[in-house]
């Protein structure tokens, strides 16, 4: 009887570890909502991003990955149209899950703007060296 219990607990533990690994690493981040604002030559992109993770160990690394995906247009569930211009600013609210989006509690927000906050012709794709990433 003890051997069956031990095997049962071991199997349950293995299933729990596999499930936790899938929930943390097995899913892609996705854009839940996207909104573009344009005024003359200025274009802002506002995103709601769901990272599909249990937790975010390093917010700055996560923010850099989101900016990279936006610059390279590399999200699996959305393609940005840069036909009318490439964004001069990027703002995003980051959530762990869609459930957190519905509750309205972001883990953090990010802003990817031109250094010094001046309005220029720089954009996030062609001039990344002119931008700074701030997380709150």
The answer to whether position 45 is within a domain reads: yes
The answer to whether position 12 is within a domain reads: no
Number of separate domains in the chain: 1
pLDDT at res. 65: 94
Q: Which residue has the higher pLDDT, 67 or 14?
A: 67
Range of the domain at 113: 29-135
The whole-angstrom distance between residue 103's C-alpha and the CA centroid of its chain comes to 17
- Give φ, ψ of 133 to 5 degrees: -105, 125
Mean pLDDT of the residues in the chain:
85
Taking the C-alpha atoms of residue 45 and residue 80, their distance in angstroms, rounded to an integer, is 10
The answer to whether position 81 is within a domain reads: yes
Cβ–Cβ < 8 Å for 123, 88: yes
Model confidence pLDDT, tens digit, residues 106-131 = 999 999 999 877 777 888 888 889 99
Q: Which residue has the higher pLDDT, 84 or 29?
A: 29
Does residue 132 carry a pLDDT above 90? yes
The runs of H, that is alpha helices, within the chain are 2-25, 59-71, 98-103
- pTM as predicted: 0.80
Does residue 24 carry a pLDDT above 60? no
Taking the C-alpha atoms of residue 122 and residue 136, their distance in angstroms, rounded to an integer, is 23
pLDDT at res. 22: 53
């Amino acid at each position: 009887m003890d051997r069956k219990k031990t095997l049962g607990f071991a199997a349950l533990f293995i299933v729990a570890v596999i499930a936790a690994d899938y929930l943390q690493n097995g899913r892609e981040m996705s854009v839940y909502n996207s909104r573009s604002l344009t005024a003359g030559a200025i274009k802002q992109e506002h995103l709601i991003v769901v990272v599909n993770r249990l937790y975010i160990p390093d917010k700055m690394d996560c923010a850099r990955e989101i900016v990279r995906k936006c610059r390279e247009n590399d999200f699996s569930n959305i393609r940005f149209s840069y036909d009318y211009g490439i964004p001069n600013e990027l703002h995003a609210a980051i959530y762990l899950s869609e459930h957190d989006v519905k509750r309205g509690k972001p883990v953090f927000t990010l802003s990817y703007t031109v250094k010094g906050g001046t309005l220029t012709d720089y954009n996030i794709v062609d001039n990344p060296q002119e931008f700074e990433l701030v997380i709150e």
